[in-house]
Amino acid sequence: MFRLAHLSDIHLGPLPEVARRDLMSKRITGYVNWQRNRARHYLADTTQRLLADLKARKPDHVAVTGDLINLGLAAEIRAARDWLDELGAPRDVSVVCGNHDAYVPSALPEAFAAWQPWITGDDGHDVAGEGDFPVLRRRDGISLIGCNSARASMPFMATGYFEKPQARALAEMLGAEGREGRCRIVLIHHPPARGATAFHKRLVGASLFRAAIARHGAELVLHGHTHLATVNSIPGPHGAVPVVGVPSAGETLGGRKPAARYNLFTIAEGPRGWSIAMQEYGVAGHPDRIDLIAKRQLA
């Protein structure tokens, strides 16, 4: 049995001091949004409470599917590195980046460099750009496959990108891991299922991702980005592959989206294949308490 926790879209706050020169870009729109909206609803105490509950349940591994930060500032990237140190050792935590981690073109390379130990695959190859994905991390009978959809986009856009080279590499990796009978769990920030989000937040190239799954299959796909609790599916060669999104790990009660949650998956190999059960934990009835919100059998 393997227990995997999934959280996403932490949006660590509060924002550090921002120099005027740093706002001469797309950052100005994100800065205004933070000051007007997110500063009231994204509280460090909420994230810390969620994290304490997650750690108390002692998962075997933690997956973080992007948007650790907000504006792609160097100080934010350093703070997120400290947060990852607190979350767990690189062997026990796997990270992929989101659009806010790539808010401006310079941010994503800095994030890759700072968070490298939690991103890189078991081969130890440094991740420097899109061409280095997907990455593979094997833990017991589980194959964690990290994909990248993060890329700087125009103001008022939050699109992700998944292109042919990464799609080909993903297909090859899924095929190879599947032939060994391993449980393949794919991590990506943007949701790859059809109709999962608005046009300006979509995954460009999602059809390429779905085609790789359709041909080779997977046992589970985990994503963030929408700040919603969702279970969708992608057709695979032997049946539907569950695609699970989780609300932001940073949002408190009273916001426009569900308050902070994480999902805990219990994965076991049986005579008919892999069994995957999901439990949702988060802030529901009281802001100072983490509750079990729902249970679901996925496979």
Give the CATH number of domain 2-297.
Answer: 3.60.21.10
* pLDDT score recorded for residue 254: 83
pLDDT (tens digit per residue) in 231-277: 999 999 999 999 999 999 999 888 889 999 999 999 999 888 999 99
Of 69, 119, 116, the closest CA to residue 94 belongs to 119
- pLDDT surpasses 90 at 69: yes
pLDDT (tens digit per residue) in 161-183: 999 999 999 999 999 999 999 99
**What six digits make up the tokens of 147?**
């994909």
Task: Assign 99 to helix, strand or coil.
Answer: helix
**Is 214 within 8 Å of 235 (Cβ atoms)?**
yes
- As a whole number of angstroms, the distance between CA 267 and CA 269 comes to 7
Mean confidence (pLDDT) of the chain: 95
